[in-house]
Chain A
Amino acid sequence: MEWGFWLAQAVSGLAGASALFLTAAGLTLVFGVCRIVNFAHGSFAMVGAYVAVTLLPPLLAWSPSLSVFLLGAVLSALAVAALGAAVELLLLRRIYRVPELFQLLATFGLVLVIQDGVLQLWGPEDIPGPRAPGLGHGVAILGERIPAYDLFLIAVGPVVLALLTLLLRATRFGLLIQAATRDREMVAALGVNQALLFTGVFALGAFLAGLGGALQVPRIPASGGMDLPIIAEAFVVTVVGGMGSVPGAFLASVLIGLLQAFGILAFPKITLVLVFLVMAAVLMLRPQGLLGRPEPPARGAIEGLAALPPPSPPLRALAVAAILAVAFLSDDYLRKVATEMLVLAIAAFSLGFLIANAGIVSFGHAAFLGAGAYAAALLSVRAGWPMEAALAAGPLFAGTLALLFGAALARMGGIYLAMLTLAFAQITHAVAFQWVELTGGDNGIVGVRPAWWASDRASYLLLAAALVLPAIWALRRVLSAPFGVLLRAARDSEPRALALGLPVVAMRVAAFALAGALAGLGGAVFAFSRGSVDPTLLAIPQSVDLLAMLLLGGVQAVAGPLLGAVALHGLKDAVMPLTDLWRLFLGLAILLLVLAFPRGLAGAWRRA
């Protein structure tokens, strides 16, 4: 009985690992050749699942057999491959040369577009898939009923690994993939049409994602929210396995699958945290991943971005004047909007600080905003702390969290760190969502009230400004102090900074903690302004909103994050009431912005 139970857990974990491996293998191949991290890869898996739940029922009605089921899964994957090829041709091809940050943002724009597209095509309800004929039963092993389909999925992983290995070693396409993973330019100089190769690899990657999604449908229904969890897991698997390594992805997905299956037994609420800790441990021992090769130093995620320029007193006066005007001359609605803009501005500003000075692009910065908000709300509502203490605890908690994250992973550079920040944020979100006893789950925490003296909106706005503006100006001080200068030196050339004896990693960790604490301050201010917190605050889309603000405002100009926060907030207020397709709109806007202004709007204005 004991043994059977363990076996059932292991089987379930390994079955999930198989599907995860297919998706991650596609991601890792695409990264190897095209050097692009595709956020929309999880969306491809989701589309594969939706196509499969649409395609399989009629196919199986026509002929209920396992081979027809497999045919349906492959056809679904082919449809996704076609989508992938179209995406490469229409979008990615134009942005291979823009800085990585903008590439990531563009593929995230795609995530938003696909989310709304799927919603329009298939509706908001989850759609369960049909069972695979002949595999719908359970197999009794050691007294446990093990789903036959799970056993089948477990076999799929190694089979696909073998087929991929064959493709890579025994076909010209495979040789070109391997060669290009090492040296794209040389492959082009030998007369290989790179554009065609990239499209081919991207289609192959999308095919694998689609297959992973399609084969999951007998176990997990197709649902509109599956894309981000899938991409977060796939990121963890590819980074742990070693970017570009297919066998590495296999090994890592088995590891993660088993961890999740058994982690549920030990820590039911925080399985994902366990996964993250193991990942951090692996990467501390082997930064290049299990089977990855040590990479040449990353070119830096933000090539070509200049540091923030020196302070400009008029802007300072203008901000203070604007806030005083809103506090004393306007209505409560505007005061609330202004408070929220301050919150977003400090969150975006701290992110911009990280990007422009430390060269760290965080795709999960909202995790720290949310951590600050949750800490303040929990201490105020559950522990009865006074507002002043709770407001102070927010940044402390978020800063500590950022410090721990940074200490574990800040050694990883550029794109890897960006991927891990996303995974981290996804996990933070899952904890807030699942640990219902503590966090209230989906409903969050309500009844977060400010102290009596700050309970009217005007006073609270002034309080928020008194906390946020000095914090921003203090951060600006840090930037022109030696710490900021050295941080930028390390960003521009890590080898040189190391040779000079600078504690590069420690400085990055410090920058990360500082940025996390500032975002946490914003979160704590937000909690008392809104009166409640819920998991959307630290969800990935919130992180991307912050990045979009920087994209709108530009990280070069000091007013960038402020401008961006105002612009995005205004845009949302203007567009959201008009249409249900907000995500589609935002996604397309991001894509257009990246294509038209790869340096951000503020950058564009300054050049003009």
Chain B
Amino acid sequence: MAEPLLAIEGLEAGYGPAPVLFGVSLTLAPGEVVALLGRNGAGKSTLIKAAMGLLPPRAGRLRFAGQDISGEAPWRIARAGIGYVPEDRRVFPDLTVAENLAVGRRPPREGLPEWTDSRLFALFPPLAPLSRRRAGLLSGGEQQMLAIARTLAGNPRAVLLDEPAEGLAPVLLEPLAGAILEMAKAGVAVLLAEQNLDFAAAVADRAVLLARGAVAFDGPMARVMADASLRESVLGVSA
């Protein structure tokens, strides 16, 4: 594996006095898709928020593309090249689809092809005819696509995707998985927090399993799919 793009080392974070993460370490290489798996409340979203600077880390270091970004403000981390797609999508409801993309737009990065509007609409074809519609009027699936497209418009080197498949109709999962693979092919690294194992297995090369705020497993996704007892003990799923 090459020099990691994102390296999280010994990260501790939490809300108020309660700690949630206890020394989490993981890495993400360019163009790699890593699934971040864990039960409800394991700390997946907390890890992503802390990596994005939305939650001040209490200990540990964050390195991205050779820079130390620990303790930086979210907007600086975003400008360094990390994109964030939140669990609840958080599109700007009063703005149109095109305007949402415009808010996310940032200059292209060296070595990565630019995510122009036309490339984004090619990635998410259902959005193309809706570009002038207010985001508040979109369906849940369309809002999810828009949330990802808006983040990609910032031309990030890595994207932290928090449960994009949650609440989506099964027919939407395959195109979404296709889009994530496409992003990876275009050189974007993806950290995918997910509860849906099959969806994660369809896109991820590697998996990091979180249990009660600590890493319980870090290895090939295939190992997770093959090892029923691992899944049972960490994720509580037997299927």
As a 0/1 sequence over residues 167 to 194 of chain A, the CB contacts with chain B under 8 angstroms (1 = contact) are 0000010011011001101111111111
B interface, CB within 8 angstroms of A? 52, 54, 73-75, 78-79, 84, 86, 90, 92-95, 99-100, 102-104, 106, 150-151, 154
List of 9 A-B pairs having minimum Cβ-Cβ separation, nearest first: A191-B78, A179-B92, A188-B74, A189-B84, A186-B90, A188-B75, A191-B79, A190-B104, A179-B103
For B79, the chain A residues whose CB sits under 8 A away are 191
Bound form: Cα–Cα A176–B99 in Å: 10
Looking across the interface, which residue of chain B has its beta carbon closest to that of A176? B103
For A192, the chain B residues whose CB sits under 8 A away are 75, 103
- CB distance B154 to A190 under 8 Å? yes
Smallest beta-carbon distance B224→chain A, Å: 29
Smallest beta-carbon distance B79→chain A, Å: 5
Smallest beta-carbon distance B80→chain A, Å: 9
Residues A26-67 near B (CB distance < 8 A): none
Looking across the interface, which residue of chain A has its beta carbon closest to that of B102? A175
- CB distance A189 to B92 under 8 Å? no
- CB distance A191 to B106 under 8 Å? yes
Smallest beta-carbon distance B149→chain A, Å: 12
- CB distance B103 to A189 under 8 Å? no
Looking across the interface, which residue of chain A has its beta carbon closest to that of B52? A189
- CB distance B93 to A175 under 8 Å? no
- Which of the listed residues B54, B78, B79, B103 has the most CB atoms from chain A within 10 Å of its own CB? B103
Bound form: Cα–Cα A190–B92 in Å: 12
For B95, the chain A residues whose CB sits under 8 A away are 175, 178-179
- CB distance B150 to A190 under 8 Å? yes
Bound form: Cα–Cα A187–B99 in Å: 13
Looking across the interface, which residue of chain B has its beta carbon closest to that of A169? B99
For A194, the chain B residues whose CB sits under 8 A away are 73, 75
* Selected A-B contacts with CB under 8 Å, 9 pairs: A178-B95, A179-B95, A185-B54, A188-B74, A188-B78, A189-B74, A190-B154, A192-B75, A192-B103
Number of A-B contacts (CB under 8 A): 55
- CB distance B154 to A186 under 8 Å? no
- CB distance A188 to B92 under 8 Å? no
Bound form: Cα–Cα A187–B100 in Å: 10
A175, A183, A189: the one contacting B54 at CB < 8 Å is A189
Bound form: Cα–Cα A459–B154 in Å: 75
Smallest beta-carbon distance B67→chain A, Å: 15
Smallest beta-carbon distance A195→chain B, Å: 8
Bound form: Cα–Cα A178–B93 in Å: 10
Known interface pairs A182-B93, A189-B74; A175-B52 also in contact (CB < 8 Å): no
- CB distance A178 to B78 under 8 Å? no
Bound form: Cα–Cα A190–B86 in Å: 11
For B92, the chain A residues whose CB sits under 8 A away are 178-179, 182-183, 186
Smallest beta-carbon distance B5→chain A, Å: 17
B75, B86, B100, B102: the one contacting A191 at CB < 8 Å is B75
Bound form: Cα–Cα A172–B73 in Å: 22
For A182, the chain B residues whose CB sits under 8 A away are 92-94
A175, A185, A193: the one contacting B103 at CB < 8 Å is A175
- CB distance A193 to B99 under 8 Å? no
For B74, the chain A residues whose CB sits under 8 A away are 185, 188-189
For A175, the chain B residues whose CB sits under 8 A away are 95, 99, 102-103
Known interface pairs A175-B99, A175-B102, A176-B103; A193-B75 also in contact (CB < 8 Å): yes
Looking across the interface, which residue of chain B has its beta carbon closest to that of A172? B102
For B73, the chain A residues whose CB sits under 8 A away are 188, 194
For B52, the chain A residues whose CB sits under 8 A away are 189
For B86, the chain A residues whose CB sits under 8 A away are 186, 189
For B84, the chain A residues whose CB sits under 8 A away are 189-190
For B54, the chain A residues whose CB sits under 8 A away are 185, 189
Bound form: Cα–Cα A190–B84 in Å: 7
- CB distance A189 to B102 under 8 Å? no
Bound form: Cα–Cα A176–B102 in Å: 9
Bound form: Cα–Cα A175–B98 in Å: 11
Looking across the interface, which residue of chain A has its beta carbon closest to that of B100? A179
Bound form: Cα–Cα A188–B53 in Å: 10
Bound form: Cα–Cα A424–B20 in Å: 46
- Which of the listed residues B54, B74, B154 has the most CB atoms from chain A within 10 Å of its own CB? B74
For A178, the chain B residues whose CB sits under 8 A away are 92, 94-95
- CB distance A191 to B94 under 8 Å? no
Bound form: Cα–Cα A182–B90 in Å: 9
Smallest beta-carbon distance B239→chain A, Å: 34
Looking across the interface, which residue of chain A has its beta carbon closest to that of B85? A189
- CB distance B90 to A191 under 8 Å? no
For A176, the chain B residues whose CB sits under 8 A away are 103
Bound form: Cα–Cα A176–B94 in Å: 12
Bound form: Cα–Cα A182–B134 in Å: 14
Bound form: Cα–Cα A28–B94 in Å: 17
Bound form: Cα–Cα A183–B93 in Å: 10
Bound form: Cα–Cα A182–B79 in Å: 21
Residues A563-593 near B (CB distance < 8 A): none
Known interface pairs A192-B75, A194-B75; A187-B103 also in contact (CB < 8 Å): yes
Bound form: Cα–Cα A186–B73 in Å: 12
Starting from the known contacts A190-B75, A190-B84, 19 additional A-B residue pairs (CB-CB under 8 Å) come to: A175-B95, A175-B99, A175-B102, A178-B95, A179-B100, A186-B86, A186-B92, A187-B103, A188-B74, A189-B86, A190-B78, A190-B103, A190-B104, A190-B106, A190-B154, A191-B75, A191-B79, A191-B104, A192-B103
Looking across the interface, which residue of chain B has its beta carbon closest to that of A194? B75
Residues A177-217 near B (CB distance < 8 A): 178-179, 182-183, 185-194
Smallest beta-carbon distance B191→chain A, Å: 14
Bound form: Cα–Cα A497–B98 in Å: 41
Smallest beta-carbon distance A344→chain B, Å: 37
Bound form: Cα–Cα A182–B75 in Å: 17
- CB distance B154 to A191 under 8 Å? yes
Bound form: Cα–Cα A7–B54 in Å: 56
Looking across the interface, which residue of chain A has its beta carbon closest to that of B79? A191
For A186, the chain B residues whose CB sits under 8 A away are 86, 90, 92
Bound form: Cα–Cα A179–B106 in Å: 16
Bound form: Cα–Cα A319–B38 in Å: 60
For A183, the chain B residues whose CB sits under 8 A away are 90, 92
Smallest beta-carbon distance A561→chain B, Å: 29
For A185, the chain B residues whose CB sits under 8 A away are 54, 74
Known interface pairs A178-B94, A179-B92, A182-B92; A189-B99 also in contact (CB < 8 Å): no
Bound form: Cα–Cα A194–B76 in Å: 10
B93, B94, B99, B151: the one contacting A190 at CB < 8 Å is B151
Bound form: Cα–Cα A187–B73 in Å: 12
Smallest beta-carbon distance A29→chain B, Å: 14
For A179, the chain B residues whose CB sits under 8 A away are 92, 95, 100, 103
Bound form: Cα–Cα A190–B103 in Å: 8
Bound form: Cα–Cα A192–B104 in Å: 8
Smallest beta-carbon distance A391→chain B, Å: 48
Bound form: Cα–Cα A183–B88 in Å: 12
For B78, the chain A residues whose CB sits under 8 A away are 188-191
Bound form: Cα–Cα A489–B75 in Å: 37
Bound form: Cα–Cα A359–B150 in Å: 39
Smallest beta-carbon distance A43→chain B, Å: 31
Looking across the interface, which residue of chain A has its beta carbon closest to that of B75? A188
Smallest beta-carbon distance B47→chain A, Å: 15
Smallest beta-carbon distance A242→chain B, Å: 13
Bound form: Cα–Cα A175–B95 in Å: 8
